[in-house]
Structure 1
Amino acid sequence: MKLPESQVAALNAASATDETPIDRLAEEAGLKPETATQAVFELRDEGLLEVTERESVEYELTDEGAEYVESGLPEVRLYRTAVEAGTDDAPAQMGRIIGASGLEGPEIDIALANFGRKGYGDIDSGELSADPDADADDDPEAAALAALAEGGAVDDVDADVLDQLVSRNLLDRHERVVRTITLTDAGVTALMEGIETAETVDRLTPEMLTSGEWQDVEFTEYNVEADAPEVRGGKTHVLRQTAERVKDVLVGMGFQEMEGPHADADFWINDCLFMPQDHPARTHWDRFALDVPPIEHLPEDLVDRVESAHREGVGEDGDGYHSPWSEDFARAVALRGHTTSLSMRYLSGTEVGELEPPQRYFSVEKVYRNDTLDATHLLEFFQIEGWVMAENLSVRDLMGTFVEFYEQFGITDIQFKPHYNPYTEPSFELFGKHPTTGELIEIGNSGMFRDEVLEPLGVEHDVMAWGLALERLAMLTTGAEDIRDLHGTLADLDFLRGAEVTY
């Protein structure tokens, strides 16, 4: 019997009594792993070898996981600090507990995200309380990490715990198929009778064509069904795909894009929107204030007109808020809670000069709010801001714009609900139905800007405006059930690798 050299080497390295893994067979035969794999499958097809396949799952600590073995999981550290501060008896300010815990950077978001999930306590309106009945010393995720760090097996660890640690990027899961080889009776007989090495070539070269040698050689057969190594290339994040698609749709509808600062004066973020300075959303409950010098350069005439609108109202029937208004507060710097601050800059003429109708502008940028983390809320997220300035606009025009926009993403069941905003009247929220759960998800807020907003800005025409949630749009188009699956420290990487934006 004549066989190619690689097959002869594989046969000689195989055993009739012991199962030999392919990687060890390749080493003993002096073959590359891929060459050995091809030879083994060809010999199996000839009935000379038997291939047994078993699935193997191994777990390995990531650098972040190893770090938490030493320092402790962020949520455990937060819980212990909260207990030491007495929050199991009475809630305390979340910021004070976080500061005392020593958590920094991304660890803070990780701790907050897992604190409630594990039942360590509650976070409500900026206050944190610890559950006195929780047992952080018996945290199953911490125990699993410690066991792996000591070289232990994971056979006794709950599968859900391992899945959670993998999703948190604290463990790497390596799944592979282990193939072992044994000689069949026919293989043993062939070796006993003797096998000769056949001269074969695995590729056709220009020299062989020129000399005519190709007519006399034996070519190696290729097994197109043989497994190939999995290669995962990079891809654009599904949220970025959604953002780019949103931009394409809005530009196609005649809109221009706005840009502006993430940290801005409260004047642009809230005062221009006719938001009273004592509104709860402007306190530390929702706002991220920055400890930096105030904004010095604001249009003085515009500041005076906005202050007048707050104190006295606009028009004959205007009444204002009868609440404190401070220019120092207006100049204070905070992270924007919505990108409507950009709309105020553009509508006032500060960014691109005075605008004449019709005008259409949008932005898709990040905003920051001190929200409670859950399946539909993050501390920072992307907002789709937009507005149209024209004559004789109505709510019907606004609703029609949304219908046209969302149809581009295959969403045709938008629902509208009346709502109150300090800066728009009439106002309404938008809801879309989740494709998997059937749940109605709030996806945006909108309305017609009030005179108290437009008159100080010097705008004499109707303006309809909206703020839509990019992440929630992505949830509707991809089927993600938790906003944290899309981005952040708990993102589901397997989901992101396969998720596509549909439209």
Structure 2
Amino acid sequence: MIELREHERKTLLIVERLDGKASVEQVINESGLSDAAVMRAALTLQEKKLVKMKEKKQTIAKLNKEGKLYAERQLPERRILDVLYKMGGEALLSNIPKEVDISSNAVSVALGWLVKKNWAVINQKKGTIALVESLLTQKPKKGADEKLLELLAEKDTVVIEELDKNPQQAVATLKRRKLVETKEKSTYELELTKKGWKLVKKGLEVAEEVTLLTPELIITKKWRETKLRKFDVTASGPAVYPGKVHPLQQIIQRAREIFLEMGFTEIRGPLVETAFWNFDALFQPQDHPAREMMDTFYLA
């Protein structure tokens, strides 16, 4: 018979209730247990071949400080576009920084994106920027990058793998523009095995377990009705390393490693060295403080 602890029973029943498949996050939310408790239970259930645990890597995207600012105020190229419409479709390049509240560095980047998105053309001879003919009558629709900015501002984070192709490309674009940050995250999914299904169909009850036998339980004799958690007294304890390397010795060892990595060769010398080889051969001045009796142990 397979013995299960309280947390293991809870985890198993929640996975069964969620059609035999559930992520660790779902189990945490449903059970109210801590992350560590659920992971510990899941690993034990996997060892007992009651569940399979699969690791799934995800890339999480979120806006940085500048990205949040652009999500609130729109991308700089969109703001310049709005200015062009107000100015009749054409404006002097020198007037753009005055009309749009963005830095001069951001203006040059925004102008590049205006041309790249085929929203405007720049006339270097005249020093002007003008809307392309097709946009004179109507504004361009929001692109994938702008929609993604709005989505991230609303949801705070998104899983890149769950996005469609266009938004995924938009993430790469916004990341190059240093508006979005991404990080890898591992999620775990639990799935009941045949053995697990067989066990839950027999019927499982979640009984509260007590890990500490208190005086109160003994006096009231409730210990007779309480389920005490079993402990494996044969299990090995954590490794203990009482001896520690002295901090100064650690520094010496690190300095040694650095010199060796730089290409120096380590040689062995006598325990007692002559002052000539220790000081003069190294071109150390006669009045150097290291030659004093406080820093050097002299043998007569």
| TM-score (norm. length: structure 2) | 0.50
Aligned match of 1:104: 103
- Say if 1:105 and 1:172 are closer, same or farther in 2 by CA, change over 3 A: same
- 2:133 is equivalent to residue 133 of structure 1: yes
| Paired letter, 2:76 | P
For residues 30 and 142 of structure 2, what CA distance do their matches in structure 1 show? 45
Secondary structure of the 2:38 match is: helix
| Paired letter, 1:218 | A
For residues 198 and 125 of structure 1, what CA distance do their matches in structure 2 show? 86
**1:333-392 Cα distance to aligned partner (Å, 9 max, x none):** xxxxxxxxxxxxxxxxxxxxxxxxxxxxxxxxxxxxxxxxxxxxxxxxxxxxxxxxxxxx
Once structures 1 and 2 are overlaid, which stretch shifts more, 148-157 or 158-167? 148-157
Q: 2:59–2:185: 8 Å Cα contact kept in structure 1?
A: yes
The 5-angstrom pairing of residues 424-435 of structure 1 reads none
C-alpha displacement of 1:3: 5.4
| Paired letter, 2:80 | L
For residues 134 and 175 of structure 2, what CA distance do their matches in structure 1 show? 24
C-alpha displacement of 1:63: 4.8
- Say if 1:126 and 1:34 are closer, same or farther in 2 by CA, change over 3 A: farther
| Paired letter, 1:26 | I
Aligned match of 1:46: 48
| Paired letter, 2:235 | E
C-alpha displacement of 1:79: 3.3
Q: 2:148–2:167: 8 Å Cα contact kept in structure 1?
A: no
For residues 158 and 39 of structure 1, what CA distance do their matches in structure 2 show? 37
Aligned match of 1:10: 11
- 2:141 is equivalent to residue 142 of structure 1: no
For residues 66 and 27 of structure 1, what CA distance do their matches in structure 2 show? 29
C-alpha displacement of 1:134: 6.1
Aligned match of 1:183: 192
For residues 30 and 199 of structure 1, what CA distance do their matches in structure 2 show? 24
Which consecutive residues of structure 1, in runs of 5 or more, have no partner in the other structure? Answer: 201-215, 222-503
Aligned length: 203
- Say if 1:25 and 1:102 are closer, same or farther in 2 by CA, change over 3 A: closer
Q: 1:14–1:25: 8 Å Cα contact kept in structure 2?
A: yes
Secondary structure of the 2:140 match is: helix
Secondary structure of the 1:14 match is: helix
- Say if 1:4 and 1:70 are closer, same or farther in 2 by CA, change over 3 A: closer
**1:285-337 Cα distance to aligned partner (Å, 9 max, x none):** xxxxxxxxxxxxxxxxxxxxxxxxxxxxxxxxxxxxxxxxxxxxxxxxxxxxx
C-alpha displacement of 1:10: 3.4
C-alpha displacement of 1:123: 6.9
The 5-angstrom pairing of residues 280-299 of structure 1 reads none
For residues 33 and 46 of structure 1, what CA distance do their matches in structure 2 show? 20
For residues 186 and 155 of structure 1, what CA distance do their matches in structure 2 show? 37
Aligned match of 2:26: 24
- 2:94 is equivalent to residue 95 of structure 1: yes
For residues 59 and 15 of structure 2, what CA distance do their matches in structure 1 show? 25
C-alpha displacement of 1:218: 2.0
**1:136-176 Cα distance to aligned partner (Å, 9 max, x none):** 53241224434555669954744322321233344455654
For residues 110 and 95 of structure 1, what CA distance do their matches in structure 2 show? 15
C-alpha displacement of 1:37: 2.3
For residues 23 and 102 of structure 2, what CA distance do their matches in structure 1 show? 46
| TM-score (norm. length: structure 1) | 0.33
Aligned match of 2:35: 33
Secondary structure of the 2:53 match is: strand
More strand by share: 1
Secondary structure of the 1:95 match is: helix
Q: 1:75–1:111: 8 Å Cα contact kept in structure 2?
A: yes
Q: 1:6–1:35: 8 Å Cα contact kept in structure 2?
A: yes
Which consecutive residues of structure 2, in runs of 5 or more, have no partner in the other structure? Answer: 206-227, 239-300
| Paired letter, 1:76 | R
C-alpha displacement of 1:74: 0.6
| Paired letter, 1:199 | F
**1:392-437 Cα distance to aligned partner (Å, 9 max, x none):** xxxxxxxxxxxxxxxxxxxxxxxxxxxxxxxxxxxxxxxxxxxxxx
Greater RCO between the two (CA within 8 Å, min separation 6)?
A: 2
| Paired letter, 1:138 | K
For residues 186 and 236 of structure 2, what CA distance do their matches in structure 1 show? 29
Choose from 167, 172, 192 the match for 1:163.
Answer: 172
Q: 2:66–2:179: 8 Å Cα contact kept in structure 1?
A: yes
Secondary structure of the 1:130 match is: strand
Q: 2:9–2:204: 8 Å Cα contact kept in structure 1?
A: no
C-alpha displacement of 1:47: 1.3
More helix by share: 2
- Say if 1:54 and 1:133 are closer, same or farther in 2 by CA, change over 3 A: farther
C-alpha displacement of 1:48: 0.8
C-alpha displacement of 1:23: 1.9
C-alpha displacement of 1:113: 4.5
Secondary structure of the 1:160 match is: helix
